[in-house]
């Protein structure tokens, strides 16, 4: 088969989840890249004593099973940043995060090839409308991801904005000639497209995106709800002289950020935490911080915050369980406290939707359908925003985790 006719693998490489699909016989076929699932958590685990990198749910089970090693999640968020190419000692070998992402994509490619029975050298990848607001860093992010695909064995790499792919997959949810809005709220970015269906096809009127997603929601909730129980917002006595000092924020910000957690367990941070516990007006919370750093519990805490967020959003939970740090420790959380913590992010999303409508030249009243895409689109602040801004539009829930990859696969069939 000539290279120009080789099949194209569609990949939605997401901050939280990844999926792959192909077009075959005019139909989208999702590839089971995880046992029994069309999606794969974008997470890896490197065993401390060596061995193959583990991916997805297997990586998470290694972490929760207290196996010694390095767990990483939200890899996509480091694209375009200096972290991407910093060499670090990971499980006995020096690696960059570019190496880690390339390894993840190479294994994804291998699984896809095994599933369909032939090789892939061409890929159509989703990308956010903007990885970063800064154009230079945005361009660097795409260049970084392109290089990772090449390192994973793909010779031809193309990109398509994720909300445009979702529009291809979801336009049938509205009527012919209808104007719709895609709200794609992912793990690390939020993307928006206004589209119109014309003659059975989709025309994109405007797209826009901001660097804000579910991991940012988690960070905000962690800082406002969980981190105060570790001393965030507390006070320290001065070693010399009168007066008090605020507890520094840096360690808490890193512990609340999925991509930074693996790198927070440094001797300097542990030493600083012990010093703060000694000087704290209230020592007990800082002693818990010492425990988190000593026992490397940052990911356990991040998962607990994520579970608390999901439960509070669904009205089924009222706390963030932190008993792995100290018996019976829990941070109260409720629907109202969740909304208060995410209020600023809600305003950012509202401004971005308004900007997208403005670029499309479409009034809010002209939107007939709002299609929710991405795992974080299930948050109440997103559905509330859509109902408030476009009250006459019908709200559709797509397959939150596979709409983008379905659209990418459809796009490969339009060559």
The domain that holds 107 is classified in CATH as 3.30.420.40
Q: Could you tell me whether strands 88-90 and 122-127 are parallel, antiparallel, or unpaired per DSSP bridges?
A: unpaired
Q: Within 10 A of 24 (CB to CB), how many other CB atoms are there?
A: 12
Distance CA 259, CA 221 (A): 16
Q: How many domains does the chain have?
A: 1
**At residue 8, what are phi and psi to the nearest 5 degrees?**
-110, 130
Q: Residues with Cβ < 8 Å from 202, sequence gap 6 or more?
A: 167, 168, 171, 195, 196
pLDDT for the residue numbered 378: 85
Q: State whether residue 402 is helix, strand or coil.
A: coil
More confident residue, 305 or 396: 305
Buried b (16+ CB within 10 A) or exposed e, 37-72: ebbbbbbbbbbeeeeebbbbebbbebbeeeeebbbb
**26: pLDDT strictly greater than 80:** yes
In a domain, 47, yes or no: yes
pLDDT > 60? residue 154: yes
Number of CB atoms found within 10 A of residue 92's CB: 11
Q: How confident is the model at residue 174 (pLDDT cuts 50, 70, 90)?
A: low
Distances (CA, A) of 240 to 31, 145, 160, 236: 63, 50, 58, 12
Q: Is pLDDT at 172 greater than 80 in this prediction?
A: no
The position carrying tokens 């409720």 is 334
- Of 343, 342, 340, 321, nearest to 332 by C-alpha is 321
Between CA 91 and CA 87 the distance in angstroms is 13
* pLDDT confidence bin for 328, thresholds 50/70/90: very high
pLDDT in the model for residue 2: 40
Quote the tokens at residue 354.
């308004």
Beta-carbon contacts of 95 under 8 Å, excluding residues fewer than 6 positions away, are 87, 88
Is the confidence at residue 370, as pLDDT, over 60?
yes
Cα distance between residue 161 and residue 190, in whole Å:
11
Q: For 1-15, 221-235, 374-388, which range has the lowest pLDDT when averaged over its residues? A: 1-15
* Residue 304: closest CA among 321, 319, 289, 292: 321
pLDDT at 5 > cutoff 60: no
Quickly tell me which residue has 């895609």 as its tokens: 182
pLDDT at 387 over 90: yes
- Give a yes or no: residue 188 inside a domain: no
355 found inside a domain? no
Angle CA(209)–CA(81)–CA(353) in degrees, nearest 5?
10
Out of 159-173, 250-264, 278-292, 377-391, least confident range? 159-173
Residue 251 lies in a domain: no
* pLDDT classification of 1: cutoffs 50, 70, 90: very low
Residues in the chain: 415
Q: Give residue 135's domain range.
A: 3-162+406-412
Average pLDDT for residues 126-133, to the nearest whole number?
94
- Is residue 357 situated within a structural domain? no
In a domain, 21, yes or no: yes
Residue 64 lies in a domain: yes
The CA distance from 356 to 210, in Å, is 11
Question: What contacts 350, CB < 8 A, 6 or more positions away?
Answer: 385, 389
Measured between alpha carbons, how far is residue 165 from residues 15, 46, 161 in Å? 17, 33, 6
- Over residues 227-248, the mean pLDDT reads 94
On the question of pLDDT at 173 being above 80, the answer is: no
Question: Is 207:129 a contact under the CB 8 Å cutoff?
Answer: yes
Flag whether 144 is in a domain: yes
72 vs 91: CA distance, rounded Å: 12
Hey, what's the torsion of the CAs at 224, 225, 228, 230, to 10 degrees?
-130
Alpha-carbon span 210 to 201, nearest angstrom: 27
């Amino acid at each position: 088969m000539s290279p120009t006719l080789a099949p194209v693998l569609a990949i939605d490489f997401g901050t939280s989840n990844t999926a792959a699909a192909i077009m075959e016989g005019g139909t989208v076929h999702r590839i089971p890249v995880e046992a029994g699932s069309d999606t794969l958590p974008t997470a890896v685990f490197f065993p401390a004593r060596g061995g193959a990198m583990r991916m997805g749910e297997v990586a998470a089970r290694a972490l929760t099973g207290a196996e010694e090693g390095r767990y990483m999640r939200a890899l996509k968020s480091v694209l375009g940043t200096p972290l991407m190419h910093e060499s670090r000692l990971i499980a006995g070998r020096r690696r960059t995060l570019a190496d880690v992402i390339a390894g993840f994509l190479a294994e994804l490619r291998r699984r896809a090839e095994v599933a369909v029975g032939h090789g892939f050298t061409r890929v159509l990848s989703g990308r956010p409308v903007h990885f970063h607001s800064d154009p230079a860093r945005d361009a660097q992010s795409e260049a970084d991801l392109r290089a990772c695909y090449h390192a994973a064995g793909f010779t031809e790499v193309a990109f398509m904005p994720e909300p445009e792919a979702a529009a291809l997959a979801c336009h049938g949810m509205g009527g012919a000639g209808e104007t719709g809005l895609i709200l794609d709220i992912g793990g690390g970015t939020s993307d928006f497209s206004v589209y119109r269906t014309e003659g059975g096809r989709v025309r994109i009127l405007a797209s826009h995106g901001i660097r804000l997603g579910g991991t940012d929601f988690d960070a905000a909730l962690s800082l406002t709800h969980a981190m105060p129980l570790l001393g965030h917002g507390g006070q320290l006595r001065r070693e010399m002289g009168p007066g008090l000092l605020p507890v520094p924020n840096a360690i808490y910000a890193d512990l609340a950020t999925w991509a930074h957690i693996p790198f927070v367990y440094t001797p300097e941070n542990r030493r600083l935490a012990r010093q703060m516990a000694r000087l704290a007006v209230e020592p007990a919370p800082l002693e818990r911080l010492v425990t988190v750093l000593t026992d490397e519990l940052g990911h356990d805490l991040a998962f607990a915050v994520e579970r608390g967020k999901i439960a509070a959003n669904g009205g089924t939970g009222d706390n963030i369980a932190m008993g792995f740090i100290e018996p019976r420790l829990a941070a109260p959380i409720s629907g109202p406290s969740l909304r208060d913590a995410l209020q600023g992010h809600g305003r950012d999303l509202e401004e971005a939707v308004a900007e997208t409508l403005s670029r499309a030249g479409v009034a809010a009243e002209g939107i007939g359908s709002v299609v929710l895409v991405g795992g974080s689109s299930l948050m109440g602040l997103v559905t509330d925003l859509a109902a408030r801004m476009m009250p006459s539009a019908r709200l559709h829930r797509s397959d939150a985790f596979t709409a983008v990859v379905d659209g990418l696969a459809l796009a490969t069939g339009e060559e």
